[in-house]
Amino acid sequence: MTRLEIVGLCSGSLKIVGAFEMKKDYKEIYKKYHASPDAIKKRSMRNKARRLMNLKVGDEREVDHKNPLSKGGTNNKRNLRVVTRATNRKKGAK
């Protein structure tokens, strides 16, 4: 049985090896999302908000933006509040 290797199907992040094996190309996923300038900027803003609200690494609570960053909100302390993960996920970007 020969091994067939195809890279770049659909989203470009899946690699098909053999007849039924599917493996993710994690390096490609990282390059496309995590290392993009937009993703770096968003991650920086989230980390800045956590530092502003004095949340430490491992703290299960999250910083919620009352007016979401995606809708023009800022990291001003008046726009931030500390909530549980469940509360923040339930709210989404409303």
Write down the pLDDT at residue 1. 43
Q: Which of 38, 44, 37, 5 is nearest to 23 (CA)?
A: 5
> What average pLDDT score do residues 73-94 get?
88
> What average pLDDT score do residues 83-94 get?
85
The CA-based angle 12-14-15, given to 5 degrees, is 115
pLDDT of 92 strictly over 80: no
pLDDT of 15 strictly over 80: no
Helix (H, G, I), strand (E, B) or coil at 22: strand
Q: Can you read off the two tokens belonging to residue 20? A: 């039924």
pLDDT in tens, 30-72: 777 777 888 888 888 888 999 999 998 888 999 999 998 888 8
Q: Which of 63, 89, 88, 94 is nearest to 78 (CA)?
A: 63
The rounded percent of the chain whose pLDDT value lies above 70 is 74
